[in-house]
Amino acid sequence: MGNFLFKPGLRAILKVLVRNVPHVSGRSISDSVEQFFQTNHPDHYLCNQAVYNANKFAQLVRKREKLQNWLDYNQLKFERHPDQRPTKKLTTERQRILKDPKSIMSAAFVSFNSRWGAAVCAQTQQSKNPTMWLTNWAPEPRDVYWKNLAIPFVSLSIRKLVISVLVFALVFFYMIPIAFVQSLANLDGLEKVAPFLRPLIEV
């Protein structure tokens, strides 16, 4: 089953990203997702993987990759100070993330045993509350911007609204000076539109 789940062609097709999973006291996010999808999609639900806020872990991975070229040079230094090894820091940070309940985000990747089940889940509203149990097709891991998964739904919606307003304002207010300059560039057209400006144009 593990090989089936991680075949490149099927991995994204059979997975759905669920966001804004409600927190239930005494129950983990993974358990909540498990219960919800076993109840609502019993014939097609396969498993789930909760999403962790591991941005610091990702920074350590990038740092480790940068240091990989210097490994020979730093080998002696790290042998003298094993606690400074990037691998040791990665292990420590990973254990801290897994043990810290605050690191678990209200999101999970849910796997299904059929495309139809995944399609139904990804394209339908899962809850009466439209801001809870948000589902959409799961992107490939390399296409996920992991930092955005930690942003709450309300904050993300506000950011989208602010960006939309700013883009509209930029386009709208940019068109006014362009239209004005364009009208000045064509004096014949300006004279036809505003004949009272003819003395000014002829000067």
**Tens-digit pLDDT profile for residues 104-145:** 888 888 988 888 888 888 888 888 888 888 888 888 888 888
Is there a single domain that holds both residue 22 and residue 117?
yes
Is there a single domain that holds both residue 13 and residue 113?
yes
Is there a single domain that holds both residue 24 and residue 106?
yes
Is there a single domain that holds both residue 135 and residue 178?
no
Is there a single domain that holds both residue 14 and residue 74?
yes
Is there a single domain that holds both residue 114 and residue 188?
no
What is the rounded average pLDDT of the residues 160-189?
83
Is there a single domain that holds both residue 146 and residue 173?
no
Which is nearest to 109 in space by CA: 161, 48, 150, 60? 48
Is there a single domain that holds both residue 89 and residue 68?
yes
Average pLDDT value over all residues in the chain: 80
As a whole number of angstroms, the distance between CA 126 and CA 112 comes to 15
Q: Specify the amino acid at residue 10.
A: L
52 beta partners: 104
Is there a single domain that holds both residue 129 and residue 65?
yes
Check residue 10 and give its pLDDT.
46
Query: Which residues span the domain enclosing 32?
Result: 2-150
Residue 200: both structure tokens together: 């000014």
Check residue 140 and give its pLDDT.
85
Is there a single domain that holds both residue 33 and residue 116?
yes
Is there a single domain that holds both residue 125 and residue 62?
yes
User: Greater confidence, 75 or 30?
Assistant: 30
Check residue 126 and give its pLDDT.
87
User: Greater confidence, 180 or 21?
Assistant: 21
pTM of the model: 0.52
Check residue 70 and give its pLDDT.
74
Check residue 4 and give its pLDDT.
37
The answer, yes or no, to whether residue 6 has pLDDT greater than 50, is no
For the chain, strand residue ranges (E) read 15-19, 45-52, 104-112, 134-137
The answer, yes or no, to whether residue 16 has pLDDT greater than 50, is yes
Check residue 169 and give its pLDDT.
93
